[in-house]
A and B are shown apart, each in its own frame.
Chain A
Amino acid sequence: MPFTPPSLDYHALAPEIILTAVLAVVLLADLFLDQSRKWLLSNIAAFGLVAAMVPIISLALSDTDVRSMVDGAYVVDNFALVLKALFLGVGFVVLLMSTNYVEDGDYYEGEFYFLLLSSLLGMVVMSSSRDLITIFVALETLSIPAYMLAGWRKRDLKSNEASLKYYLLGVLASAVMLYGMSLIYGFTGTTVLVDIGEQMAGNAANQPLVTLAIVFIIVGFAFKVSAVPFHSWAPDTYEGAPTPVTAFLSVASKTGGFVALLQLVFVGFFGRDDVWGPMFGILAALTMTVGNLIALRQTNIVRMLAYSSIAQAGYILVPFAIAGSNGGAGAGSAFTATVVYLLVYAAMNLGAFAIVIAVARKTRSGEITSYGGLYEYAPGLAVLMSIFLFSLAGIPPLAGFWAKVFIFRAVIDAGTSWAVLLGVVAAVNSVIALFYYSSIAREMFMNPVPDGDRTPIRVPTPLITALGITAAIVIVVGVYPQTFANFGDLASLVP
């Protein structure tokens, strides 16, 4: 049989192509720029991200809603576009957060931006992957640079540990997942999710082998999104990695995992909710509860945010657990809830990390007690931090509240007693979470400055921009959620 090259839609692939070109430019420029001009690299990277946004916008405005390539293995639809835009936006904010951090900290600059862009490329590809192999390749593209970034503070033991732990567990997860995928392929004879989806309801129903394969794949991604009990790498990695990288991992990398899960569950495995429904239910309840309870006891802010982001992943797992119940009655609202939560979570978590970076510039400490009296010498940062934290806690009128409302709506929409029980667990958990989020607010507003040093914090412009972007999203969406709600309403994947 002669090889027929697949027809490619270059418009649809433009964001990926631009990203690839930019990361090659960054790598090359790094070779020829002398040390004093390395700062150009972050600007090149940032402009690259903005340039990659252009085709996304033009695709969103074009009349063709769904552009499918390679027999449905690579699809650019509204869902993919929204998430690509999210990843590029997150990448942009992380760049802003890391510019001064990397410059001041005597790290390799060129490679840092190169790896960051490579990881982003993986995520952008992931948003369109509707095929087991593409998903796997995207996942590795986004993970491998992240393993290296986690160890960027190379003279710091904790950073080495972070990288190694992340790498070993990540590889283990990949192996487990790949085994599951091979089983699926062996049984169905295809790697395209849509075709797999068709067989799930038919001859793949009640097959123990398929059940096992689905369990393996979900466990693999449970590592990625740091769901309990597969979360053990997260706190150490988050604490050891450079803070901008931590922000990147806890938002972008995690979102990448959830995007893959969304596509796998809603397109590929939807017919087998008897397997993944209960599994996600248990994962969600455990992740929320364990994450929140351990977060209560943390004294280091980054570790606290690490456990908080584990707990947040638990909330995002809730809609998965109930998507298939009641014959898929609540699938649409579950899908919307997940996407909305991912969008909102990105803004509020990045914002919190940006504050951590800003404060650490002065205090050189990650201890929660070092936030004492922050309001007295940096009122702006203290107020913004409270906005982000209370948004994470889900207090109206901030964006995080609406994200939770969408989750609760999905729960009630599914209507089964298990779903409602899960909703009550989530509700109780959001009360527990408030305790540790507000303990930071307490430090900042109600306690004295620990060392009496009240010199104001000088926040560099890129960091201010990052804070401005994230805070604006959290507040605007909080007051007028309609702006965001449309993005979440992308039921194109829902069967």
Chain B
Amino acid sequence: MLTAAIFLPVVGAALLALIPREREEMLKMVALVVTLATAVVGLSLLFGFDYSDAGTLQYTTDHGWIDVINSRYHIGIDGISLPLLILSMVITVLCVIYSWDHFPEPHNPKAFLILMLVLETGMNGTFAAQDLILFFVFFELVLLPMYFMIGVWGGPNRQYAAIKFFLYTLFGSALMILSFLALYFKGGQTFDIPLLIEQGGAIAHGTQLLIFGGLFMGFAIKVPMFPFHTWLPDAHTEAPTVGSVILAAVLLKLGTYGFIRIAIPILPEAAKSWAPWIGLLAVIGIIYGALGCLAQRDMKRLIAFSSVAHMGFVMLGIATLTDFGINAAVFGMVAHGLITGMLFFIAGSIQERFGTRELSRLGGLLLQAPKMGWILGFCAFASLGLPGLAGFWGEFPAILSAYQPADGLSELTFRVYMAVAAIGTVFAAGYLLWMLQRVAFGTVKPEFENAHIHDLHIPEYIAWVPLLVGILVFGIFPHLIFHMTDAAVSAVTSGVDALGNVAAGAGGH
């Protein structure tokens, strides 16, 4: 069943490849049906999931794959993977709907939809893989479609952005695969993630630090953390709307998910040594991203920098290595996916109507397209972490968790981080409200005074309502996600906690 959730999209892509390019309606219908079918499979996974046992892997499949290197086709999901898997499926459906009449130049819906479906297979597979090599293959599978999506359908500077995205990520991946192989040889000749979690702790401390370093590079570039973030603003700005949405909503999570699924549970000792540095980079990212936002003139670029800041909060939560922090991080991932995905949709629609995203040329959206203006306002408030909306539950607990990091981490350091991160939320309010003010309020600029600006189209309604509902519902009932993740997060941090007890025990003697 989980296998179907992963490979349905790629089967759909093969189907699309057989349909002639001219039959656009049919192509779109097939893509929609396939993504919807995948989402239905996802929903049945959601309803069949045993929430009382969210900490253990469910729907597992374990087959031989490459015997020579003892790599297996091992998939399964727990409470951390599940919300992200569903997020990825839902976002893909919404993206297909949104693109219905909006295929960016040079059009060609066939190729665009094929790429989108391959992308979905990569994303779903990454969240389900329980074998390092399998994880890596899926992790990399998203690269090529995204490269082409940015490079072919992107903005004026698309080629530069596409190759920058590709090279940065591949550099991280190359070090990551070396680390995976090192784990294989040091961790008992297996790539199986659950097995490695049992055996990884036995690796010598110095080796652990090095391996963690390689993993860190791979995941941190994907997140992206400061100072590896520079590909992100370019990629987001140049990507077509749907590309930006998928990039922000799902691809960035592959990095943070990697930390939670692989790096921390397998190498808890190294994670502890690295945590203060990860925390430091995370808070630098929060402040730097926020300041970067204030300096932007392009709406999409601003949202891209806000992503850097938001992912900073997620990473801060992860760096605390506590249940509380990582729960907040997973929530933050989902919330950021919904909110920032939404913001990129709006930016794309604005670009389409006005032909520009320059903040200085926009204004008075509320007068010309009031519905879109209010939705932008709603998302801006959600993004700045207004209580009652989803953004709050990602941000606030992450900050709070830094007050009391895992045993053995310096409380002082993390409390400083906490203070800095709290200042970051003020900045976030600053830049988001500033953006809202420039775009939605004020009067219409003379050049667009007589332009006919259409308010929401039907595909936009259908694509956006689920996200908006999600933002609101998860804001009011955060427990919907926390009750999935909590048990699974405890399993992740159990390795770290065990270390803490040993250290505490040793200190007591």
Q: With A412-B181, A430-B170, A431-B174 known to touch, is A485 a contact of B158 (CB < 8 Å)?
A: no
Which residues of chain B from 182 to 210 have a CB within 8 Å of any chain A CB?
A: 182, 184-185
Which residues on A sit within 8 Å (CB–CB) of B140? 395-397, 401
Mask, A474-490, CB within 8 Å of B = 1, is 00000011100110110
How many residues does chain A have at the interface if contact means C-beta atoms less than 8 Å apart? Answer: 37
Bound Cα distance A435, B181 (Å): 25
Which residues of chain A from 369 to 425 have a CB within 8 Å of any chain B CB?
A: 390, 395-397, 401-402, 405-406, 408-409, 411-413, 415, 420, 423-424
A408 near B163: Cβ-Cβ < 8 Å: no
Which residues on B sit within 8 Å (CB–CB) of A402? 66
How many residues does chain B have at the interface if contact means C-beta atoms less than 8 Å apart? Answer: 33
A489 near B68: Cβ-Cβ < 8 Å: yes
Q: Does A175 contact B (CB under 8 A)?
A: no
Q: Does B76 contact A (CB under 8 A)?
A: no
Which residues of chain B from 130 to 150 have a CB within 8 Å of any chain A CB?
A: 133, 136-137, 140-141, 143-144, 147-148
Nearest B residue to A390 via CB reads B144
Which residues of chain B from 105 to 142 have a CB within 8 Å of any chain A CB?
A: 133, 136-137, 140-141
Bound Cα distance A446, B162 (Å): 11
Bound Cα distance A50, B232 (Å): 52
The smallest C-beta distance from B436 to any residue of chain A, in angstroms, reads 35
Which residues on B sit within 8 Å (CB–CB) of A489? 68
A396's partner among B69, B137, B151, B184 (CB-CB below 8 A) is B137
Bound Cα distance A434, B184 (Å): 26
Nearest B residue to A387 via CB reads B144
B163 near A486: Cβ-Cβ < 8 Å: no
Which residues on A sit within 8 Å (CB–CB) of B182? 412
Which residues on A sit within 8 Å (CB–CB) of B136? 396
Bound Cα distance A401, B158 (Å): 26
Q: With A396-B140, A412-B185, A489-B68 known to touch, is A428 a contact of B174 (CB < 8 Å)?
A: yes
A408 near B178: Cβ-Cβ < 8 Å: yes
Which residues of chain B from 150 to 164 have a CB within 8 Å of any chain A CB?
A: 151-152, 158-159, 162-163
Which residues on B sit within 8 Å (CB–CB) of A406? 69
Nearest B residue to A415 via CB reads B185
Nearest B residue to A426 via CB reads B174
A482's partner among B68, B151, B184 (CB-CB below 8 A) is B68
Q: Does B477 contact A (CB under 8 A)?
A: no
Which residues on B sit within 8 Å (CB–CB) of A485? 66-69
B163's partner among A401, A405, A438 (CB-CB below 8 A) is A438
B178 near A405: Cβ-Cβ < 8 Å: no
The smallest C-beta distance from A171 to any residue of chain B, in angstroms, reads 39
A413 near B185: Cβ-Cβ < 8 Å: yes
Bound Cα distance A415, B151 (Å): 39
Which residues on B sit within 8 Å (CB–CB) of A428? 171, 174
Nearest B residue to A439 via CB reads B163
B68 near A486: Cβ-Cβ < 8 Å: yes
B133 near A405: Cβ-Cβ < 8 Å: yes
Q: With A396-B136, A396-B140, A445-B148 known to touch, is A408 a contact of B166 (CB < 8 Å)?
A: no
Q: With A430-B174, A445-B151, A445-B152 known to touch, is A482 a contact of B163 (CB < 8 Å)?
A: no
Which residues on B sit within 8 Å (CB–CB) of A454? none
A412's partner among B67, B170, B174, B178 (CB-CB below 8 A) is B178
Which residues of chain B from 168 to 182 have a CB within 8 Å of any chain A CB?
A: 170-171, 174-175, 177-178, 181-182
Nearest B residue to A429 via CB reads B174
B141 near A396: Cβ-Cβ < 8 Å: yes
Residue among A395, A396, A397, A486 with most chain B CB within 10 A = A396
Q: Does A336 contact B (CB under 8 A)?
A: yes
Which residues on B sit within 8 Å (CB–CB) of A488? 68
Which residues on A sit within 8 Å (CB–CB) of B65? 480, 482
Nearest A residue to B139 via CB reads A396
Q: Does B167 contact A (CB under 8 A)?
A: yes
Q: Does A11 contact B (CB under 8 A)?
A: no
A446 near B152: Cβ-Cβ < 8 Å: yes
Q: Does A154 contact B (CB under 8 A)?
A: no
B137 near A482: Cβ-Cβ < 8 Å: no
Which residues on B sit within 8 Å (CB–CB) of A434? 166-167, 170
A405 near B144: Cβ-Cβ < 8 Å: no
Bound Cα distance A431, B181 (Å): 18
Bound Cα distance A482, B67 (Å): 7
Main secondary structure of the interface of B (DSSP, over half): helix
Bound Cα distance A420, B184 (Å): 14
B151 near A408: Cβ-Cβ < 8 Å: no
B174 near A427: Cβ-Cβ < 8 Å: yes
B166 near A409: Cβ-Cβ < 8 Å: no
Bound Cα distance A445, B166 (Å): 16
B151 near A446: Cβ-Cβ < 8 Å: yes
Which residues on A sit within 8 Å (CB–CB) of B143? 395
The smallest C-beta distance from A461 to any residue of chain B, in angstroms, reads 22
Bound Cα distance A395, B147 (Å): 12
The smallest C-beta distance from A442 to any residue of chain B, in angstroms, reads 6
Bound Cα distance A390, B143 (Å): 11
Bound Cα distance A191, B147 (Å): 54
Bound Cα distance A412, B214 (Å): 13
Bound Cα distance A257, B198 (Å): 45
Bound Cα distance A480, B69 (Å): 13
Which residues on A sit within 8 Å (CB–CB) of B137? 396-397, 401
Which residues of chain A from 61 to 93 have a CB within 8 Å of any chain B CB?
A: none
A405's partner among B64, B69, B151, B171 (CB-CB below 8 A) is B69
Which residues on A sit within 8 Å (CB–CB) of B177? 405, 408, 427
Residue among A409, A415, A480 with most chain B CB within 10 A = A409
A431 near B66: Cβ-Cβ < 8 Å: no
Mask, A427-463, CB within 8 Å of B = 1, is 1101100110011011001100000000000000000
Which residues on B sit within 8 Å (CB–CB) of A480? 65
Q: With A390-B144, A412-B185 known to touch, is A435 a contact of B66 (CB < 8 Å)?
A: no
Bound Cα distance A397, B67 (Å): 17
Nearest B residue to A397 via CB reads B137
Bound Cα distance A442, B69 (Å): 34
B178's partner among A413, A415, A424, A482 (CB-CB below 8 A) is A424
Which residues on A sit within 8 Å (CB–CB) of B184? 409, 412
Bound Cα distance A409, B183 (Å): 11
The smallest C-beta distance from A308 to any residue of chain B, in angstroms, reads 16
Which residues on B sit within 8 Å (CB–CB) of A395? 140, 143-144, 170
A431's partner among B69, B152, B171, B185 (CB-CB below 8 A) is B171
Bound Cα distance A347, B144 (Å): 21
Nearest B residue to A430 via CB reads B174
The smallest C-beta distance from A433 to any residue of chain B, in angstroms, reads 10
Nearest A residue to B181 via CB reads A412
Which residues on A sit within 8 Å (CB–CB) of B166? 434, 438
A409 near B163: Cβ-Cβ < 8 Å: no
A446 near B175: Cβ-Cβ < 8 Å: no
The smallest C-beta distance from A245 to any residue of chain B, in angstroms, reads 32
B170 near A431: Cβ-Cβ < 8 Å: yes
The smallest C-beta distance from A3 to any residue of chain B, in angstroms, reads 47
Which residues on A sit within 8 Å (CB–CB) of B159? 442, 446
8 pairs of residues in contact across A and B, judged by CB atoms under 8 Å = A395-B143, A397-B137, A401-B140, A408-B178, A411-B178, A427-B178, A439-B163, A445-B152
Known: A405-B133, A420-B178, A430-B170. 16 other contacts (CB 8 A): A395-B144, A395-B170, A396-B141, A401-B137, A405-B181, A408-B181, A409-B69, A412-B178, A412-B185, A427-B178, A431-B170, A434-B166, A435-B167, A438-B163, A480-B65, A482-B67
- Leading 5 A-B pairs by shortest Cβ distance: A427-B174, A485-B68, A412-B181, A396-B137, A396-B140
